[in-house]
Amino acid sequence: MAVFTALLLLLALVCSSVAAPRSLLQIANPTFTNGDFALPGFSALNSGGYATFSSRDVIPGWVITAGTVDYVSARQWQAPPGASYSLDCSGNEAGSIQQNFVTTPGSSYTVSFYLAGTPTGSPIKTLQVSKAGATQNYTFDITNTTVEQMGYLPKVFDFVATASATTLVFTSLTQEGNGPVIGNVFVTEGTARPIAPAIAPIPGPAPALATPDSAGTIGPVIGGVLAGAALLLALAALSLFCLYRQKKRRSSLQSTLEEGGKDETLGKTTPQHPVSKPRQEHFTLKQLQKGTDSFNGTNIIGRGSFGIVYKGVLEDGSVIAVKRLESRPGRKDIEERSWKAEVEALGKVRHKNLVPLLGVCVDRGERLLVFEHFVRGSLDRRLHDPRDGEPVLSWADRINIARGVCRGLIYLHNDIRPPIVHRDIKAANVLLTDDEIANACIADFGLAHLVQDSGWKTSTMVKGTVPYMAPEYLHGGASFLTPKCDVYSFGMLFLELVSGRPVVSQIRSGVMERLSKIAVDMTREGKILELVDPKLGNDYDVNEARNYIHVALACLRTDPSARPNMESVGSQLALVQVVDSSFREEDLWDSEGSSPLVGSLSSSSNVLANNQSTVLVASRFVTPR
C-alpha cells in the first residue's frame, strides 16, 4: 500500500512537472484567516485556504501597473503554512507592480528583498524607485539564482528620500511565461543593511520537456528502461526521504533553540543585561506523559490562548512546566504559526528575567514546550489570592518585581534584532522566583512574533488581555503594534503592584472602572498616596511611591509617541528619588476633564469586567495614523 501511495505521489510530481510554467510573485503581506476578508474585491477564504480576486486593483498594498491579469478561480492567493501569500498569475501578462511608502525627505532608507527564478528571457530584473518626479533604477541579475537559493541571497540597496512619499516599482516580472519569485520586501529607515527574514522556498517554474522531431524504434525502449529504473530509484529515495524528514522535523526545533543565540541578527545589539543559560534538550512524549501523569487535569497550573500548562516531575526529580498546544477546529493554521513563532522567539531569548525554556517535544501530533517551574507561582496569585500564612508582598519586593519586568522588556525590545513585542504583559504572566527578595520572570510568549525593524507586521492577530492592552492596538489592530504597547501594559502592571488592586474593579452596582481611571482621579484630587496598597501600612517611602505612580501614569499616556520607552522607564526606576519632570498630568485627560482611555466601563462589557479574559481576533488592514 505504501509503495502504491508513493507511486501515485511520484506520478503526480511528474504530471506537475509538465504543467504550463507559472509566474509567481511572493509578496510580504499579513496573514488572513478564514472568513475575515473585509477588503473590496476579495471573497472569503474557501475551505482550502484560498481567496480569489474579483478586481485587478486590490492586491493589499500593491498595484499592478503594467499589463493585465485575468483573475479567475484558478488564480488565487495561496497561503503556505507560516509563509507569505503568493499571487499565482499562471500567465505572462503581469508586467510590474508598485508599492507606495511614507518617507521623510532627506532620510536614508534600505530596501531588502528576495529575487530568484529561471526565466527563459532576460535575466536582468529591475526595481525602480520614484522620488518626487525623479526616477532611479536598480538592476539585479538572477542568472545563477534558483528559487531554492532565494532564502540565502537577499538583495539589498539604499536610497535617499526626496519627498514625503516614495514609490517602489518592480518591472520585468515575467519573460515568456517564466517569471521570477519576488519575496518579502522590507523597507527600513537608515542604512543598517537588514537581512530580510527567510521565506519558504517556492517551486520554480518547471522547464518544458523537449520533444524530438522524430521517434525511432530504439528510443522508446531505452526510454522505457531508463524510466523504470528512475522510478525504482525515486521510490527508494522517497522512502528514505520520508524517514529522514520525520527524524529531521523532531530535531529541527531543537536546533533552532540551540543555535538561536548564535543568530547573526542578534549581533546587531550587544546585550547589556544579565543572561541566563538554561539547559535545553529534546524531551520524548513518553517522558512528559509520565511526568504529568498523562496530562492529568489535576496537574493543570495555567491556561493560555493556545494551550494548557501542566506541572510535571522528571525522573531525576526536577519539577517542570509543560505547555501543550491545543488543537482547535478551524484554527490549525493559526496554531502552526503560533507554534513556530514561539519556538523561534524562545530559542533566542536568554535573560534572567525571562522564563527559561528547557526543551521541546514534537511527537505523534503533540507539540510541547518545557519550561522551568516556579514554585511561588504568578504575581497575580500572590497579589490577589495569597495562600494562607503568606506575608504581604513588601514594598521592596514590589519594586524589585517591577524592575525585573522592566529589565526583561528592555532586553526584548533592545537587545534582540528584530525586537520582540510581548503583547500580553500582565500579572498572570509574571512568575516569581523563590529568592529572599522576590524577582520576576516574564512568561508566555504564545504569540510574541518578531517585529521587523521596517514596520512590516507579520501577524494580523490582536492578542492580549483587554485591561492591559494599549488603546491603539486594541482598537486599531496589529498595524499599530509597537514596543510602546508593552510600555502601556507595564504601566497598568506597575499600578497594580503599587496599589494591590485588580486592574478592573466594580465600584458600584453595574459599573466597572479601570485602575488607571482611579489613579488619575486620585492624582487630580491630590490623593495620590491613597492609591498605595493599605496592607503595606507605613512600610514604604512616600516620595518613592509618589514618583513611581508618576512613572506608571506616564506609561499610560494615550499618545504612544508620548510614552517613554522601556529603557527610559528603567532609568526613571533607578533614579526614582529624582522627581520625574517629564510627567504631565494633562496628557491623561482632554480639555473637558475626561479621558476616553480611562473612562468608566459598563458591566455589560464582559471582556473588560473579567481581569483574565484574553482577546484573539483578526484585525483589518488599517493604515497607521
pLDDT at 477: 76
Assess contact for 179 and 63: CB atoms under 8 A. Answer: no
Distance CA 105, CA 63 (A): 24
Residues 6 or more apart whose CB falls under 8 angstroms from that of 503 comprise 426, 427, 467, 468, 492, 495, 496, 514, 515, 516, 611
The pLDDT confidence band at residue 187, using thresholds 50, 70 and 90, is: low
- Over the stretch 533-557, which tens digit does the pLDDT of each residue have? 999 999 999 988 999 999 999 999 9
Distance CA 32, CA 560 (A): 26
The pLDDT confidence band at residue 267, using thresholds 50, 70 and 90, is: very low
Name residue 363's beta-bridge partners: 366
Distance CA 380, CA 612 (A): 10
Active-site residue set:
424
Distance CA 374, CA 434 (A): 8
Name residue 462's beta-bridge partners: 617
What's the rounded mean pLDDT across residues 47-61?
Answer: 37
The CA-to-CA distance between both ends of the chain, in Å, stands at 58
Q: What percent of the chain has pLDDT over 70?
A: 42
Is it the case that residue 109 has pLDDT exceeding 80? no
Distance CA 566, CA 407 (A): 8
Q: Within 10 Å of residue 384's Cβ, how many Cβ atoms? A: 15
Find the range with the poorest average confidence among 247-256, 494-503, 589-598.
Answer: 589-598
The pLDDT confidence band at residue 444, using thresholds 50, 70 and 90, is: confident
Cell numbers that stand for 181 in this block: 519569485
Residues 6 or more apart whose CB falls under 8 angstroms from that of 623 comprise 479
Distance CA 222, CA 228 (A): 10
pLDDT at 511: 72
Is residue 322 within a helix (H) or strand (E), and if so which, with residue range? Answer: strand 319-325
The pLDDT confidence band at residue 563, using thresholds 50, 70 and 90, is: very high
pLDDT at 473: 84
Q: Does residue 157 come out as left (phi exceeding 0), alpha (psi in the -120 to 50 range) or beta?
A: beta
Say what the alpha-carbon torsion angle 402, 403, 408, 409 is, to the nearest 10 degrees: 70
DSSP string over 498-565: HH---SEEEEETTEEEEHHHHHHHHHHTT-GGGGS-GGGTT-S-HHHHHHHHHHHHHHT-SSGGGSPP
According to DSSP, the β-strands at 281-282 and 357-363 are: parallel
Assess contact for 422 and 488: CB atoms under 8 A. Answer: no
Give whole-number Cα distances, 344 to 61, 136, 251, 256, 434, in Å.
27, 37, 14, 7, 28
Give whole-number Cα distances, 324 to 132, 230, 334, 369, 446, in Å.
53, 43, 15, 7, 11
What's the rounded mean pLDDT across residues 304-312?
Answer: 80
Find the range with the poorest average confidence among 27-31, 101-105, 169-173, 176-180.
Answer: 27-31
Structural domains for the chain: 22-189 (2.60.120), 245-373 (3.30.200.20), 382-618 (1.10.510.10)
Find the range with the poorest average confidence among 111-120, 479-488, 552-561.
Answer: 111-120
Q: Within 10 Å of residue 328's Cβ, how many Cβ atoms? A: 10
The pLDDT confidence band at residue 493, using thresholds 50, 70 and 90, is: very high
pLDDT at 620: 25
pTM exceeding the 0.85 threshold for the entire prediction: no
Average pLDDT value for the chain? 63
Distance CA 378, CA 440 (A): 9
Where b means 16+ CB within 10 Å and e means fewer, 269-305 reads eeeeeeeeeeebebbeeebbbebbeebeeebeebebb
Distance CA 133, CA 464 (A): 44
Tallying the residues shown for the chain, one arrives at 625
pLDDT at 302: 81
pLDDT at 189: 67
pLDDT at 545: 92
Distance CA 147, CA 140 (A): 15
- Asked whether residue 323 is marked as a ligand-binding residue, the answer is yes
The pLDDT confidence band at residue 564, using thresholds 50, 70 and 90, is: very high
271 preceded by a cis bond (ω within 30 of 0): no
Is residue 156 within a helix (H) or strand (E), and if so which, with residue range? Answer: strand 154-160
Phi, psi of 130 (to 5 degrees): -105, 125
What's the rounded mean pLDDT across residues 232-260?
Answer: 56
